[in-house]
Amino acid sequence: MATLVTLVSLLLLGFQAQVRSEWTYSEGQLDEEHWALHYPACGGTRQSPINLQRRKVHFNPALTPLELMGYEEGQAGQFPMTNNGHTVQITLPESMRLAGPEGTEHVAVQMHFHWGGDSFEVSGSEHTVDGVRRVMEIHVVHYNSKYESYDIAKDAPDGLAVLAAFVEMEEDAENTYYSSFISHLANIKYPGQSTMISGLPVLDMLPENHFEYYTYHGSLTTPPCTENVRWFVLQDSVKLSRAQVWKIENSLLTHDNKTLHNGYRSVQPLHDRVVEASFQFSRSLHSEIGSYLEGIQMSIRDLARALEQRREKRRV
């Protein structure tokens, strides 16, 4: 009898592990709406991403420029790059470090990307600014250097920090710093495939301006959605050509053998959190109206996306 109970328990654990590993953004039993059922933190009050409302952001003159240490050394290194079924992830060396405004040093772990690309949503950044979603978003994940490893830091209250940068599209302005990265995507078309990049100009793949940024306390944007992330979202953006954006959006497949599109989480409620900025800005009436209209357009696209998801579920 004890043997039977043990066997049943192992089968249940195996089933749970399988379910927990198959989370998705919009399709399947464990889509974004149901993450919190298996990952309780995903239903918390300090979730990411958020909408950065500039009129509500607090300017903090004490926020010093972010310091990226060892990033320029990456051009001579070896970088493993993997299709994990949700995005392309690049492993970074521990020599790359981020120093925040309080002087806390964080060790780099990996960088990955979020994009849109389906018929209803061209843009795919996770954070939005005044309701406007950008074309893509880069995340560089770090852990607090006071912990011995990422595995320890990932569960600590002050364990993680993410440097985020937006990507915008300029029609024919090819960004040569992305050439090697994009060319290697063909080697990781299927989930689980990995390749190696010899030399990757990580520093040049990010915006030059590290002085102006937003910061707030939030979470990982994918399960388990741990609420221990200090976010640094750069104000400036990276520019890629339309052809480069298209290549990134259409090179990888998911576990369901579909093109990896719309790999981003919806914006989450801010609740009582405060978003700070290291810079001040002024806005004209014209820019206010423009942002308002862009926000409406994004809402319409998101609504169309939600309706399409419901239709897909009904077909299933």
- Residue 180 is predicted with a pLDDT of 96
Q: Which domain holds residue 259?
A: 23-309
Could you give the C-alpha distances from 256 to 33, 81, 90, 128, 314, in angstroms and in order? 19, 20, 22, 28, 18
Residue 16 covered by a domain: no
Residue 112 covered by a domain: yes
Number of domains composing the chain: 1
Could you give the C-alpha distances from 197 to 79, 173, 183, 305, 311, in angstroms and in order? 5, 23, 10, 35, 40
Residue 76 covered by a domain: yes
Please give the positions annotated as active site.
Answer: 86
Phi-psi region of 68 (alpha: psi -120 to 50; beta: other; left: phi over 0): beta
| Tens-place pLDDT, residues 249-274 | 999 999 999 999 999 999 999 999 99
pTM of structure = 0.84
CATH number of domain containing 159: 3.10.200.10
Residue 64 covered by a domain: yes
Mean pLDDT by 10 residues, the chain (316 residues): 37 38 84 96 98 96 96 82 98 96 96 88 90 97 98 98 97 92 98 96 96 98 98 97 96 95 97 97 51 53 57 54
Amino acid identity at 153: A
Residue 164 covered by a domain: yes
- Helix (H) / strand (E) element for 198: namely strand 194-198
- Residue 163 is predicted with a pLDDT of 98
- Helix (H) / strand (E) element for 89: namely strand 88-91
Q: Are 207 and 238 in contact (CB under 8 A)?
A: yes
- Residue 229 is predicted with a pLDDT of 98
Residue 6 covered by a domain: no
CA dihedral 139, 273, 45, 156 (to 10 degrees): 60
Phi-psi region of 146 (alpha: psi -120 to 50; beta: other; left: phi over 0): alpha
- Residue 311 is predicted with a pLDDT of 59
Residue 2 covered by a domain: no
Residue 65 covered by a domain: yes
Amino acid identity at 166: F
